[in-house]
Structures are given as structure tokens and as C-alpha cells.
Amino acid sequence: MPMLSDPSVKYSPFPQVPLTDRQWPTRTITAPPRWLSTDLRDGNQAIVDPMDAHKKNRFFDLLVEVGVKEIEVGFPSAGATEFDFISGLVKSGRIPDDVIVQVLTQSREDLIRTSFASLTGARAAIVHLYNAVSPAWREVVFGMTKDQVRDIAVHGAKVMRDEAGKQPGTDWHFQYSPETFSTAELDFSLEVCEAVMEVLAPTPEHPIILNLPATVEAATPNIYADQVEYFIRNLPKRESAVISLHTHNDRGTGVAAAELALMAGADRVEGCLFGNGERTGNCCLVTMALNMYTQGVDPKLDFSDIDRVIETVEYCNELPVHQRHPYGGELVYTAFSGSHQDAIKKGFAANELQNDPHWRVPYLPIDPADLGRSYEAVIRVNSQSGKGGFAWVLEQDQGLKLPKKMQADFSPHVQRMADELGRELGAPDIWEAFKSAYHVQTEKKHFQLVDYEERRATDGTRLLSGTIAVQGQEQSVSGRGNGLISSVLSTIEESFGLALEIVDYTEHALTTGRDSRAAAYLECRTPDGRTIWGVGIDEDVATASVRAVLSAANSAVSG
């Protein structure tokens, strides 16, 4: 039995934070935080084959294009690949003036010195020091007391201060992470951070970045928000610190935790594009930024061409972005199910009619076009789909706007095809089903229009004469009516004994590409009370209506 019937013997509930007057629940996010991408560090350390310099450069350029201003470019002491990439980037002059790079180091003297060496010549840089502070790490990893663990941080901070002093040409910024903050005693995290601040002497003009990692996400996101609010409220010299968040996604709420903690007063968010990072990943910067965007807040990150971002991220990480990943996944704007399709189609139509820029399309929290996605894939058809689905596809693909009642008539044809094929129906499948159901653009039909002409008689009626092939045999035909359609109906009745009564008629210009054709739809009743539909498509709207009558006649004789 791998799962325990009583998990409480092995796992304990996470304790509450002693905060009775928490402020964050009533706050909202009204401005973007400072964003730091750790794709090239936390992301890179979590992939099977860490990126080479080519991939790191490509990712770096992407981050700059997206608008990220703080980029953790690596862990210089990890090895030559990392060191050379970082020092090469610094020397290349490719770091824009408004972008600052950051590097991470353990709090070990040699590693800190190596980290500074990698940044030699940088205009500005952030050196990020970390050591774990929570009980399990203190006891298991370091085998140290609280005081000894605090001293690791203090010693590291002193080395940082001294190394920075040796390279006065660089505008140095310091960041300290009490790693495992999320599972540490809050007062101890505060104690260690205060000790580091004492060494580095930050000021409001030159603050330290205190990064509070949920190294392992161990509780509901409200707990992390409480922890951050508690930390901020109890930190002396708060004005000399930038409070930064670094969440992981072990419980699947890495973004939620960062959002709530931002409401708790943090200033900065670290994360990765599409949530790469250790284990279940870091806070997804795309999701968090676009969550803000859908609340009307400019996140100051630009995902206008999200597919290009995905392409680069997938190439560099050698990991796919999941089809259901918020905002970016291939399927996240796609509705297969009937009621969703119906609502989305109505939503788009309403959006077109209204003169209101506010987005109000059901089931779509964001306009896919804002991210460079087309509407074509929004609705796709399978056996779970409804009328709205194929009607949308026919409209997008063929420009046909089927009358509502005709959609109901065509629906069983599509449903049958979907059930028979047992797969998604593409636009060509639906078009084939449509042509076959209404005898459109096919030679295989009972009545085939060869030619016709129509003239007005002296009594005002219309006279139609022409040639119709009946099962391949051409026949001269003629008829008279009050209008073109009734003259065709009387021709069919007189020539072939087929009496059809018009119930409804609509026509429209086709709207795809540079098409200048028209479509005509005809609802008819047969003498035995059946309702049948005819469709005509032609460059000439009059001929389209003639074809629609013949299409209905073909339906009548084919049963």
C-alpha cells in the first residue's frame, strides 16, 4: 500500500502565521512588480542538458525583447560553461543600459570570488548570495546551530562587500536569499537578513534585495502571503530593502503564492517563462504578467508574439510548453465542446456589433489576438461539438454564414461524420460533408444546371429557359414566375413534376480573402411535408439563387 490510510503519521499540517490583522486580502495588484527572470539560472539548473552559450545568448536576447530588465544569467562558480558565458556576455557590450544582470552564489568564499571575477568590467550587476535557514536544512544539510547558519550568511556578505570594493568601476547591487524561507521560522529569517543588512549597510537610495524563496512550496498561498507580510512588517529599515519573491510550484500554486505575496507588499518577482525551474518549476512569469494584463494592468512585459516566445523557450530548454499551459498552450483558446462553441461564437458576433472595446467573449479570459494568436483555432470540431462549432469553421474557412435553422439541418451530417471517423474534423472534412449534404460543387447529383437565361415578360412575370442535365442527360427546360426563384421552382415543377414551396431565403456575399462570390440559402417544404435546404454559391448572386433551388431539388429527390 504505497499511500497511507492515515497520512498524518507521516505529514503534518503547515502551521498558521501569527498575524491577526493581515492587510493583504483586501489589497489588489494595480502596478507591475520589478520582474527578474531566472530562466538562465534556476531554469537552467533544472533541465536535462543545461544550455550552452549559444542557447543562453538566444534566451537572453528573448528576455530583453520581452522587456525583462533584471536577468539572472547563471551560477558562475558552477563551471567553465557558466563562467565563460557570463564573462563573455559582460564583455560583449550586449547588455542594454536599462538591463542589469544577476549571478547566484553559495555563501562560500571561493565561490563568491569566482562570481565577482565573472562580472569584471560590468557597468552594473547584482550579486545574489544564498544559504538555507530552515530547520531541516540547518540540521540535515549543514549540521549547524542557528548561530552558525547565521554566520554563513554574515561571512558571505563580508566577502561580497570586500570583493565589490576591489572593483569600484561597477555599480554593485547585493541580493540575499534566506533560502527555504517558506519553511523557516520567520523570526530567524528576519534575524539573518538583519545581520546581512548590517554588513552591507543598504540605504533607501542603494537598497539591498531581500529575496524570500518558497524554495519548496509547502502550504497554501495565503500562508506565503502571511509570511511575506509578517516579514515586511517586522523588518527594521524596510525602506532600505527591495522585497523580492521567488516561488516554486510544488503544490501547483506558485503563481497564486506570488500574486498574494505581492499584495502583501513585495516589490519584485523572480520566475521563469512558462514556469521552468527546479522540480515543478518556478512562478511562471508569462502567467503572472498576463493575469495582470487581464485585470487591466500593464505588466510591462510584452507577449504580443507568444508563439515566437514559446518557440525559443522550447528550443533552449528542450522542454515542451504544455498544451494547456495558461495563455501559451496550444489548446488554451480552443473549444471543442458544443455549448462553449456556441457561447464563443455569440461572443465574437456581439463584440463585432458593439462599439465597446471591453472584452466580453464567454470562456475566453483574454483576446487571443493580443498575443498574436489567430481566431482560426479557437473553435475546433469533434464528436463533442455543436452547431456553433461547424458553423464557425465554415464561416472562417469558406465564408459561409449558415442560417440558424440550416445549422440544425446540417448538424446530423457533421455528427455522423465525427462519430464514424472518431477524430477531430478539420475544415476540409466539414466542407466535404457540407458539399455532399447539399450537392454543392459536385458532378454526382441528380439535377445539374448547365445554363439558363431569364427575361421579363410584358406582363411583368419572369420567364426562365435553360438546360438542366438530369442524371447526365441534358434537357431543355422553361418556366414562369413572379421572380427569379419562383420561375426556377415552376420550371422544376413543370419539367420534372417536383413541387417545392419556399419557406425562407437568405443570401450574402462571401467574406473570405478576395472572394467576390455570393451564397444563397433556401428553405423549402416538399408536398409530403419534409423541410429541405438548398445552397447555391456563385460569382453571380442571381445564379447562386438558381443553384440553391436546384440544390434543394436534389435533396428532395435524394430523400
Ligand X SMILES: CC(=O)SCCNC(=O)CCNC(=O)[C@H](O)C(C)(C)COP(=O)(O)OP(=O)(O)OC[C@H]1O[C@@H](n2cnc3c(N)ncnc32)[C@H](O)[C@@H]1OP(=O)(O)O
DSSP 284-337: BHHHHHHHHHTTT---S---TTHHHHHHHHHHHH--PPPTTSTTTSTTTT-B-S
Place of cell 462549432: 389
Nearer to ligand X, 32 or 271 (CB): 271
Find out whether 248 is annotated in a ligand binding site.
yes
Phi and psi dihedrals of 208, rounded to 5? Answer: -85, 150
Task: Give the list of residues 6+ apart from residue 93 with CB closer than 8 angstroms, or none.
Answer: none
Among 215, 276, 312, 490, binds ligand X (CB under 6 A): 215
Binder of residue 249, out of ligand KIV, ligand X, none (CB less than 5 to 8 A by kind): none
Q: How far apart are CA 211 and CA 183, in angstroms?
A: 14
179 binds ligand X (CB under 6 A): yes
Contact between 523 and ligand X by CB under 6 A: the answer reads no
Measured from the Cβ of residue 463, the count of other Cβ atoms closer than 10 Å reads: 15
Site string for ligand X, 55-84 (x = CB under 6 A): --------------------x-xx------
**Should residue 229 be labelled a site residue for ligand X when binding is judged by CB under 6 A?**
no
- Residue 151 CB contacts under 8 Å (≥ 6 apart), including other chains: none
Quick note: the x/- pattern for ligand KIV over 1-40, rule CB under 6 A, is ----------------------------------------
Give the whole-angstrom CA distance, residue 457 versus residue 464: 10
Is 246 annotated in a binding site? The answer is yes
| Contacted by 246, from ligand X, ligand KIV, none: CB < 5 to 8 Å by type | ligand KIV
- Look at residue 272 and give the partner it binds from ligand KIV, ligand X, none, a contact being a CB closer than 5 to 8 Å depending on partner kind: none
Q: Phi/psi at 513 (nearest 5 deg)?
A: 45, -135
Contact flag: residue 177 with ligand KIV (CB under 6 A): yes
Cα 36 from Cα 73, distance rounded (Å) = 10
Interface region with ligand KIV, contact rule CB under 6 A, candidates 6-14, 17-25, 75-83, 207-215: 207-215
Residue selected from 59, 75, 83, 130 as contacting ligand KIV according to rule CB under 6 A: 130
Other beta carbons less than 10 A from residue 377's beta carbon: 14
Q: Which amino acid is at 358?
A: H
The residues in 413-432 that bind ligand X, with binding defined as CB under 6 A, are none
Nearest approach, Cβ of residue 189 and ligand KIV (Å): 12
Residues 516-523: contacts with CB under 8 Å, at least 24 apart: 517/544, 518/544, 519/399, 519/400, 519/401, 519/544, 520/544, 520/545, 520/547, 520/548, 521/402, 521/403, 521/406, 521/548, 522/485, 522/548, 522/549, 522/551, 522/552, 523/403, 523/405, 523/406
How open is the CA angle 511-514-517, to the nearest 5 degrees?
60
Count helices and strands in the chain by DSSP H and E runs: 16, 14
Position 130 contacts ligand X (CB under 6 A): yes
Instruction: Select from 45, 120, 220, 506 the one that contacts ligand X (CB under 6 A).
Output: 45
Q: Does 211 bind ligand X (CB under 6 A)?
A: no
Per rule CB under 6 A, is residue 118 in the interface with ligand X? no
With CB cut-offs between 5 and 8 Å by kind, which of ligand X, ligand KIV, none does residue 177 bind? Answer: ligand KIV
Q: 38 or 554, CB closer to ligand X?
A: 38
Binding site for ligand KIV (CB under 6 A): 42, 104, 130, 177, 179, 211, 213, 215, 246, 248
Could you tell me which residues are annotated as the binding site for Mg(2+)? 42, 246, 248, 282
Binding site for ligand X (CB under 6 A): 42, 45, 75, 77-78, 104, 106-108, 111, 130-131, 141-142, 152, 179, 215, 278
